[in-house]
Homo-oligomer: A and B are copies of this chain.
């Protein structure tokens, strides 16, 4: 287990292993091969950031470049899934969901229910989420709450290479539609990942740090910011539990409730916009189901209710920081003492 690879490589390896294992797995997206129809290198891009690079050489036409028509090709992935394939469609940036959302929430998500349980739609939609790339308002959103809100969709957002590989393989094998969110600012981070194939259930949160004074519940990039905050707080004698949700839907609420029951305090950290987001979702569930365990107010750390700004100065202020998270922990700890 000594080998270290990046999240980018973990995505590639998961796709590689599943494509090798199951001929029903096919991939489609804009430039996921790259150079199709052009006069130069085949497999020229492997996706806009090179995540799928090399797979075309192995699997040929099972990876397909698409026209710029997200409704058509995401819908095609969904339709193919309803007809026995296991497509993995790449929506380059999650921000583009607005041109193809219907296929996702009115079609894929609802088939099973509307058809009385007689449909399976094993499709995975991979998309880059999150800020930090100076990519501005239309290429930096999280939007995870929009998918989490929809019954019938599963929503996954890993924070480590290990989780990425295991969750992506599980998502591909899952028979429900899964929105697989890859944080673009995390592609480069490395971690130990077994070479062999393995899965992680979509229903288990992960406690990435243990502590008794306060629970931090979060996911994605914010797991790392929370770990930073935890290190700072530890120096002050404050020990936090950090719950990495990994899967936003289905939600492993039990792990959250157990943690809060232990610590009595909760800070929810979410990179998504503040209204109706994952932080409010978790906070509300805790205020309903573990109220008596709470020793103080719940705190939420989120960006402001604004689009993501372009200017690096502003974007850095926009994304929740370790300092803001630490401050929120201190605040709820103080709140309970008041």
Whether a CB of chain B sits under 8 angstroms from the CB of A45 is no
For the complex, give the distance between the alpha carbons of A185 and B136 in Å.
40
Listed stretches A9-17, A82-90, A187-195, A303-311; interface member: A303-311
Which of the residues B113, B136, B152, B280 comes within 8 Å of A284, measured between beta carbons? B280
For the complex, give the distance between the alpha carbons of A285 and B145 in Å.
16
Q: How many protomers of this protein does the assembly include? A: 2
Q: When the two chains form their complex, are residues A288 and B297 in contact, meaning their CB atoms are under 8 A apart? A: yes
Q: When the two chains form their complex, are residues B137 and A307 in contact, meaning their CB atoms are under 8 A apart? A: no
Listed stretches A31-39, A99-107, A171-179; interface member: A99-107
Whether a CB of chain B sits under 8 angstroms from the CB of A151 is yes
A277 — which chain B residues lie within 8 A by C-beta? 149, 276
Whether a CB of chain B sits under 8 angstroms from the CB of A294 is yes
A338 — which chain B residues lie within 8 A by C-beta? 292
Which of the residues B114, B278, B304 comes within 8 Å of A276, measured between beta carbons? B278
Whether a CB of chain B sits under 8 angstroms from the CB of A335 is yes
A149 — which chain B residues lie within 8 A by C-beta? 145-146, 272-273, 275-277
A6 — which chain B residues lie within 8 A by C-beta? none
Q: When the two chains form their complex, are residues B138 and A110 in contact, meaning their CB atoms are under 8 A apart? A: yes
Q: Which residue of B lies closest to A152 (CB)?
A: B307
Whether a CB of chain B sits under 8 angstroms from the CB of A198 is no
Q: When the two chains form their complex, are residues B291 and A297 in contact, meaning their CB atoms are under 8 A apart? A: yes
A335 — which chain B residues lie within 8 A by C-beta? 291-292
Whether a CB of chain B sits under 8 angstroms from the CB of A40 is no
Q: When the two chains form their complex, are residues A307 and B113 in contact, meaning their CB atoms are under 8 A apart? A: yes
Q: Which of A97, A272, A299, A307 has the most C-beta atoms of chain B within 10 angstroms of its own C-beta?
A: A307
Whether a CB of chain B sits under 8 angstroms from the CB of A69 is no
A251 — which chain B residues lie within 8 A by C-beta? 275
A123 to chain B, nearest CB (A): 16
A41 to chain B, nearest CB (A): 32
Residues 290 to 318 of chain A near chain B (Cβ within 8 Å):
291-292, 294, 296-300, 304-307, 309-310
A112 to chain B, nearest CB (A): 9
Q: When the two chains form their complex, are residues A284 and B273 in contact, meaning their CB atoms are under 8 A apart? A: no
Q: When the two chains form their complex, are residues A298 and B306 in contact, meaning their CB atoms are under 8 A apart? A: no
Residues 304 to 338 of chain A near chain B (Cβ within 8 Å):
304-307, 309-310, 335, 338
Which of the residues B102, B278, B288, B304 comes within 8 Å of A299, measured between beta carbons? B288
Whether a CB of chain B sits under 8 angstroms from the CB of A229 is no
Q: When the two chains form their complex, are residues A285 and B280 in contact, meaning their CB atoms are under 8 A apart? A: yes
Q: When the two chains form their complex, are residues B280 and A291 in contact, meaning their CB atoms are under 8 A apart? A: no
Whether a CB of chain B sits under 8 angstroms from the CB of A287 is yes
A94 to chain B, nearest CB (A): 11
Residue pairs across A and B with Cβ atoms less than 8 A apart, 18 shown, are: A98-B101, A98-B105, A106-B137, A113-B137, A113-B307, A114-B136, A114-B310, A145-B149, A148-B275, A151-B307, A276-B276, A276-B277, A280-B283, A280-B284, A283-B287, A287-B294, A288-B299, A291-B335
- Which 8 pairs from chain A and chain B are nearest by CB? A98-B102, A291-B297, A283-B284, A280-B284, A287-B287, A98-B101, A145-B276, A287-B298
Given A280-B281, A284-B300, A292-B335, 10 more A-B residue pairs with CB atoms under 8 Å apart are A98-B103, A99-B101, A114-B307, A146-B146, A151-B304, A152-B306, A287-B297, A288-B298, A288-B299, A291-B297
